[in-house]
Structure 1
Amino acid sequence: MPVNLATGRACGITALIDFTDPCNAAGPRLRHAFDAPRRLLVARRVEEVAGVLGAAEAAARAGHWCLGGLRYEAAPAFDAALAVHDAPPDAPPLAWFAVHDAPLPWPQQQGEDFAPAYLDWDAPPARAAFEAALARLQRGIAAGEYYQVNHTAAFTGRWRGMPRALFGALRRAQPGGYALWLDMGETQALSVSPELFFDWRAGPDGRGAILTRPMKGTAARGATPADDAAREQALRASPKERAENVMIVDLLRNDLSRIAQVGSVRVPQLLRTQALPAVWQMTSDVQADTRAGTRLADVFAALFPCGSVTGAPKVQAMRAIRALEGGPRGIYCGALGVLRPDPIGGPGAIAATFNVPIRTLELHADRVRCGIGSGIVWGADADAEWREWQAKRAFAERASAPFDLLETLALEGGRLRHRAEHLARLAQAAAHFGYPFDADAVHQRLDALERAHPQGAWRARLLLDARGALQAEAHALAPTATPVLLALADRPFAQAHSEFVRHKTTRRAHYAAFAPQPGSGVFDTLLYNAAGEITEGTFGNVAALLDGRWITPSLSCGLLPGVGRALALRGSQVQEGLLRLQDLPRVQGWAFVNSLRGWLPAQLRMPG
């Protein structure tokens, strides 16, 4: 049994890497596993960092694979003017690399990859502190101290389960990009970063090609295809988001010039949008040819930390970061990646690929830490930046606990009602979450369910898990007395725009918190979002008769696209629209709508 040299404990796989090819996103991925390393390269003091980078580079040029990275607090190793928080005496190493003889094949999926893993988050950073920091930064921008600062905060909590299972959940939540799991002994890094820090292909003399791809400019994904396309276009056109990206491109052009052959720095791709599960991101490519004599430590000295996570000018921005942020960033905003031999370049050539560890969890004992941030410029708006933080954190929320995709259908007289519509919605959810979906297998399971229930009325549930496994069950469905009673929620539904609202899953705690109390006589709770717009009930959609016409809230308000709602919209009975809290006294009638129970006349009980 191999032994992890960092901890002395017996172990199997200690690292997994799943990197996009930076030069060909459609090409084969760099996907490997690694067992116990032959040795570790560790720097605990600033003055040791350059030596560790040199040793890792030498090992890669000798034919080994080195996985590891640097914490954000390693920055003063390259320039004493780069201000960071002092790390406590018991902090993990500033630089850490594991040296392996060779990679192992990517492991076949096992139960461990889908074992339950849970993230239980503490209270989030305070909104008031966030707004105060933003205002302080904008005063600094107005005074000419800097023109962009990347402000971040740490979300913390506890984790349970197996690290490999949690890494699998994170990869499903944030597929693609530059994913890496490292068991570093004292800590574990689980990164599913979409951002490339740099990819450097260099011969033995240091000459080669280097690519950086800063990610700056963000927009949340839309609730519908049309809304999503509009948000992408708005991101492309936004002067604020474009300026944010161009500022960092200029910074990186300057950084690269320190190691580049004269006249070789170029920007072949500027302001390109990239679709991620929760957000649209804007990226640009900055490339150069490195000079003879360039070494890995020189590359880090020129680029680290990446300008996208500092701001510009870098020195002044990092001073502002230290003044505002309460402690070290750690692995977040540092660098994680791999050094390996490059057979194309010949003997002694290497390929070095590192991500910027955003969308990254750091585990220490039973604690978990996740940093989230955004670039603050003069035109930044507190509400928009706060929403951006929530959208960027969605990957961790998605991976916080296992969930199945769910469809609930009416089964009457041996036939499932609106079967095709439900399966189309299930297929859309499977595509969104990356769950395997076998349409033939689904039809076979539902055919069997229909044959088993040839008579009576049933509530059928179809579940699809992360492996693509299906479960179908049926429970007796009692008739519903009408009109049903709705009660207005006593507070806004904060999760209205979550992907766990737009898609139906077994993760329903956010709905359960608003569900009517048993024995209250209330059939369902009427929800509204932070803008005061009515959205839906906790287990169905709603419609209201207003000014002589029936309207159902627009999907842009944040609600499930119910099958019953869609069927009602196909005819002339209902139209989409906005229904606000102030409109409620004018509503002349209500209906609860879902595929299971159909159109139910309803009454609304107002508070008080």
Structure 2
Amino acid sequence: MHLTAKIDFSDPHGGPDATRLRHAFGTPQHILTATTWSEVPAVLDGVQAAAEKGAWCIGYLRYEAAGAFDIALRTHPADGPLAWFAVYGQALPWPEDHPTIPPAPTLHWSAPAQRPVFDAALHQIQQAIANGEYYQVNYTAQMVAAIDGMAHGAAPALFAALQRAQPGGYAAYIDTGHEQVLSVSPELFFDWHSQPHGGEILARPMKGTAPRGHTPEQDTAQATALRNSPKERAENVMIVDLLRNDLSRLATPGSVQVPRLFHTQALPAVWQMTSDVQAHTRAGTSLAQVFGALFPCGSVTGAPKVRAMQAIAALETGPRGIYCGALGVVRPLGDGSIHATFNVPIRTVVLQGNQARCGIGSGITAGSQASAEWNEWRHKRAFVEQASMSFDLLETLALENGQWRHGTDHLARLHRAAQHFSYPWDAPRIHQCLADLAQAQPQGNWRVRLLLDSSGQPSAQAFTLEASPPQVRLQLATQPLAEAHSPFVHHKTTHRAHYDAFTPTLAGIYDTVLYNEEGEITECTRGNVAMLLDGQWVTPALHCGLLPGVGRAVALRNGRLREAVVRLEDRPRIQAWAFLNSLRGWIAAELI
């Protein structure tokens, strides 16, 4: 049976061990669709009626459906149906991944915006805030990728890859025939349990972002800083107040509450801050009325909503589409009651014809800084860039007369990468793979390339390890490494295009010293770097954007090195240089 939809939704009211709503859906009984604003409420009424009679309904509203509920909510013209729902007679079990599923297509995404355009938009927003026009605007842009002859089954494979890159949350796959929607959104729009005498509704807006740390200590510090940031808290409270006001249009008097404020949620690339707003809905409230009060979610508009959406329509060059709309499931509860759960479709890819689209954005306030918001966009797009390419995790080890040099450190780093990228981890299988290779090469010095693919299958290959040179010459990169804070820098993988661009081309140059966009020295393309600075050997701190090399970790443990932030302008103070990694050890270096 051809599956037209899948949902994998967290329980909004449960803890980490709560049961997930995880189902697949085959051929729908019929489709409900709206192409004009006047048709949208009728579609939602049809969805509610079908669910009350026992059907499951899966579908979405485009952001441009907002005018169906309030004509003052300005948008661009829509690029597809304003509302689309499939009605199913039953929910099927979630299909197990099958080895014959083709690999996800490799997609090369355009940048969501050019930096000068981005900076100009932020300046315009902040000028309007200073003039009192609004408090906050959620500014977004679309990334686009061409799909060259995507094979049948590649869309579900890409969805699986997206789920590995962004696990948990409110994931949904919908194939309408005209377009495929692949959403791995972590944000709950609303969860509504409707009963004849009333109902309960929960909204969980997501506002406030910080990058994940590179160590457990840094990660905890990042979460704490996010929770305590006046700028991020103010941004969150603005949207909480907007949602409280929206929910009051549905609620029984005095029932709107905020039971949880400033909760930090860990995602693979970022920390996000959420708050809960809940209420009792009045008897007779309809699904169309819920959308009429809440749509679009204030977290993707700004405040106040009407003026913020007018600004968005002027700033953004085209429709948002399903991105920033609503996507979810309305299911029967067996007694005429229904349960509706919708995400805010951020972290969402839409495939149409030979094109893929994905929106990225952030909330802009008076305290926003262009460089910080630009980096936030980079962190947020990491999920789709990771899912859009095929890569293995990689470790390069030295095997000396059958013994592994720093083997425990290498496997610990590989395990951290597997956890980050959600690759299966089978420690006994990996140990056996290495044991088999060591048994085959009991004598001599070998460079071993250990790979772990996305299915958790390890492989290892040995090459003769030549003697390391006593001294090497390094060159300084002519431009910053823009991807310094990418997971493909913090974890070692076969995806190395960002490093390959800096491979030395001059004879006699061993490697290139890299630096980030803040002018902080980071690493080389094949190892870490050490510098004798003011009489002390130092190596760049991890938060500057570099691989946590095993040789570097050993040197830090034994006291030969300490971490420091070293900037390009500090070079005159550097008395000596060294290149180091686990394979080659410590090599004296000269920077030309």
TM-score by length of 1: 0.95
SS at match of 1:120: coil
Q: 1:122 aligns with which of 105, 110, 117?
A: 110
- TM-superposition CA deviations, 1:194-243 (whole Å, max 9, x none): 0000000112x261100000001111111222222111111111111111
1:499-578 equivalent positions in 2, closer than 5 A: 499-517=487-505, 520-578=507-565
Partner of 2:569: 582
Is 1:311 aligned to 2:302, yes or no? yes
Q: 2:427 aligns with which of 439, 447, 468?
A: 439
- The one-letter code sitting in structure 1 at the alignment partner of 2:248 is S
Q: 2:398 aligns with which of 410, 413, 418?
A: 410
SS at match of 1:267: strand
In 2, Cα distance between the equivalents of 1:340 and 1:170? 25
Count of residue correspondences: 587
- TM-superposition CA deviations, 1:242-268 (whole Å, max 9, x none): 111111111111111111111111111
In 2, Cα distance between the equivalents of 1:114 and 1:28? 29
Partner of 2:56: 65
Instruction: Check the 8 A contact 2:540/2:563 in 1, yes or no.
Output: yes
CA 1:386–1:47 in 2, change beyond 3 Å: closer, same or farther? same
Partner of 1:36: 27
Q: 1:78 aligns with which of 65, 69, 75?
A: 69
SS at match of 1:500: helix
In 1, Cα distance between the equivalents of 2:349 and 2:276? 26
In 2, Cα distance between the equivalents of 1:188 and 1:578? 45
In 2, Cα distance between the equivalents of 1:112 and 1:293? 49
In 1, Cα distance between the equivalents of 2:585 and 2:200? 62
**Tell me, which stretches of 5 or more residues in structure 1 are unaligned?**
3-11
RMSD: 1.3
In 1, Cα distance between the equivalents of 2:302 and 2:543? 33
In 2, Cα distance between the equivalents of 1:114 and 1:569? 43
In 2, Cα distance between the equivalents of 1:261 and 1:123? 46
Pick which of 246-255 and 131-140 moved more. Answer: 131-140
- TM-superposition CA deviations, 1:274-322 (whole Å, max 9, x none): 1111111110110111111111000000000001111111111111111
SS at match of 1:505: coil
- The one-letter code sitting in structure 2 at the alignment partner of 1:360 is T
- The one-letter code sitting in structure 2 at the alignment partner of 1:599 is W
SS at match of 2:521: coil
Is 1:22 aligned to 2:12, yes or no? yes
Instruction: Check the 8 A contact 1:206/1:290 in 2, yes or no.
Output: no
In 2, Cα distance between the equivalents of 1:163 and 1:46? 30
Partner of 1:493: 481
1:170-569 equivalent positions in 2, closer than 5 A: 170-203=162-195, 205=196, 207-343=198-334, 347-517=335-505, 520-569=507-556
SS at match of 1:218: strand
Partner of 1:165: 157
CA 1:220–1:113 in 2, change beyond 3 Å: closer, same or farther? farther
Displacement after TM superposition at 1:114 (Å): 6.2
- TM-superposition CA deviations, 1:132-181 (whole Å, max 9, x none): 11111112112221111111111111234500010011000000000001
In 2, Cα distance between the equivalents of 1:22 and 1:263? 23
- The one-letter code sitting in structure 2 at the alignment partner of 1:540 is G
- TM-superposition CA deviations, 1:457-502 (whole Å, max 9, x none): 1111111112111111111112232211211111111111111111
SS at match of 1:530: coil
SS at match of 1:47: helix
- TM-superposition CA deviations, 1:424-445 (whole Å, max 9, x none): 1111111111111111111111
Q: Which runs of 4+ in 1 moved over 3 A?
A: none
In 1, Cα distance between the equivalents of 2:277 and 2:361? 22
SS at match of 1:228: helix
Identity %: 62
Pick which of 349-358 and 363-372 moved more. Answer: 363-372
Instruction: Check the 8 A contact 2:112/2:360 in 1, yes or no.
Output: no
SS at match of 2:591: strand
Instruction: Check the 8 A contact 1:114/1:169 in 2, yes or no.
Output: no
SS at match of 1:209: strand
**Tell me, which stretches of 5 or more residues in structure 2 are unaligned?**
none
Instruction: Check the 8 A contact 1:208/1:289 in 2, yes or no.
Output: yes
Instruction: Check the 8 A contact 1:68/1:336 in 2, yes or no.
Output: yes
SS at match of 1:514: coil
Instruction: Check the 8 A contact 1:430/1:437 in 2, yes or no.
Output: yes
Is 1:600 aligned to 2:590, yes or no? no
Instruction: Check the 8 A contact 1:65/1:99 in 2, yes or no.
Output: yes
Displacement after TM superposition at 1:113 (Å): 4.9
SS at match of 1:165: helix
In 2, Cα distance between the equivalents of 1:465 and 1:316? 49
Pick which of 108-117 and 386-395 moved more. Answer: 108-117
Pick which of 190-199 and 29-38 moved more. Answer: 29-38
Displacement after TM superposition at 1:579 (Å): 2.0
Displacement after TM superposition at 1:51 (Å): 0.6
SS at match of 1:151: strand
- The one-letter code sitting in structure 1 at the alignment partner of 2:133 is E
In 2, Cα distance between the equivalents of 1:552 and 1:206? 65
In 2, Cα distance between the equivalents of 1:315 and 1:124? 25
Displacement after TM superposition at 1:405 (Å): 0.9
In 1, Cα distance between the equivalents of 2:127 and 2:406? 57
In 2, Cα distance between the equivalents of 1:490 and 1:34? 53
- The one-letter code sitting in structure 2 at the alignment partner of 1:192 is V
Displacement after TM superposition at 1:361 (Å): 0.8
- The one-letter code sitting in structure 1 at the alignment partner of 2:344 is V
Instruction: Check the 8 A contact 1:223/1:558 in 2, yes or no.
Output: no
In 2, Cα distance between the equivalents of 1:106 and 1:471? 30
TM-score by length of 2: 0.97
SS at match of 2:120: helix
Partner of 1:55: 46
In 1, Cα distance between the equivalents of 2:84 and 2:581? 55
- TM-superposition CA deviations, 1:36-72 (whole Å, max 9, x none): 2111111111111111111111111111111001000
Instruction: Check the 8 A contact 2:77/2:319 in 1, yes or no.
Output: yes
SS at match of 1:119: coil
- The one-letter code sitting in structure 2 at the alignment partner of 1:270 is L
Instruction: Check the 8 A contact 1:206/1:295 in 2, yes or no.
Output: no
CA 1:354–1:272 in 2, change beyond 3 Å: closer, same or farther? same
In 2, Cα distance between the equivalents of 1:573 and 1:418? 17
